[in-house]
Chain A
Amino acid sequence: AQRVTQPEKLLSVFKGAPVELKCNYSYSGSPELFWYVQYSRQRLQLLLRHISRESIKGFTADLNKGETSFHLKKPFAQEEDSAMYYCALSGRGAQKLVFGQGTRLTINP
């Protein structure tokens, strides 16, 4: 069964501190992993996907197949990073996404 777990409902860090949002998954094949973000009063949008191996807004995420994890990291948090973050998974070529429970990130000044 496909499953995505985000163990932290809430995460609060100070501006300038490193941020790590955890995501673990279970999937029997080769998954595609994504991070979606929802800023206050905005629609949910794609932040990054593991296949692109890119840094978006200073965030990176590495797929660790051994630990079945896809943690989202940023070395220096900014206040505008405060948002709701969802980790999501799909099978290759699949139409559906399975989302985690979400983590609300708050960056304190």
Chain B
Amino acid sequence: DVKVTQSSRYLVKRTGEKVFLECVQDMDHENMFWYRQDPGLGLRLIYFSYDVKMKEKGDIPEGYSVSREKKERFSLILESASTNQTSMYLCASRGPGTSGVSSYNEQFFGPGTRLTVL
């Protein structure tokens, strides 16, 4: 069973603070993703990583950065938190589906971190 864990379920930070959100997966997946989930907007991709030290911008990377120093860990960094970054943040890793066929593009999600920036 794939396990994707996120360091915090709830986080409250102040405007201007540097914020780290951590995600760990235990399935040796190469691809990892960070999304934010907002009502009416669905899931929007912030950044993703297809290998250690490799990253690509998603649809809304502004105000965020990421770090992937180890295969199992993908960190999202808010350099200077702002109130418009208050959201639910979801991490995902991608790997073979339940049938074991590697071509299946199944993403496995963490429980989410609800970040509030005051």
Query: Which one of B4, B42, B92 lies within 8 Å of A101 (CB-CB)?
Result: B42
A90 in contact with B42 given A43-B112, A95-B94 (CB within 8 Å): no
B31 contacts chain A at the CB level, 8 A cutoff = yes
Give CA–CA (A101, B104) in the complex, Å: 23
**B contacts with A, residue count (CB < 8 A):** 26
Give CA–CA (A93, B101) in the complex, Å: 12
Contacts of A44 in B (CB 8 A): 43, 90, 92, 109
Task: Tell me if B109 and A99 are in contact (CB < 8 A).
Answer: no
Task: Tell me if B107 and A46 are in contact (CB < 8 A).
Answer: yes
Expressed in whole angstroms, the minimum distance between the Cβ of B23 and any Cβ of chain A is 12
The residue on B at minimum CB distance from A95 is B31
Contacts of A51 in B (CB 8 A): 104
Query: Which one of B40, B41, B45, B90 lies within 8 Å of A96 (CB-CB)?
Result: B45
B106 contacts chain A at the CB level, 8 A cutoff = yes
A11 contacts chain B at the CB level, 8 A cutoff = no
Task: Tell me if A100 and B42 are in contact (CB < 8 A).
Answer: yes
Expressed in whole angstroms, the minimum distance between the Cβ of A102 and any Cβ of chain B is 5
Contacts of A46 in B (CB 8 A): 97, 106-107
Task: Tell me if A94 and B109 are in contact (CB < 8 A).
Answer: no
Task: Tell me if B40 and A101 are in contact (CB < 8 A).
Answer: yes
Q: What are 17 A-to-B residue pairs whose CB atoms are below 8 Å?
A: A6-B42, A43-B4, A44-B43, A44-B92, A49-B97, A49-B104, A51-B104, A86-B42, A86-B43, A95-B48, A95-B50, A95-B94, A96-B33, A96-B48, A96-B58, A99-B42, A100-B42
Q: Could you tell me which A residues sit within 8 Å of B by CB distance?
A: 6, 9, 32, 34, 43-46, 49, 51, 86, 90, 93-102
- 6 nearest CB pairs, A to B: A99-B43, A101-B42, A44-B109, A99-B42, A102-B42, A43-B109
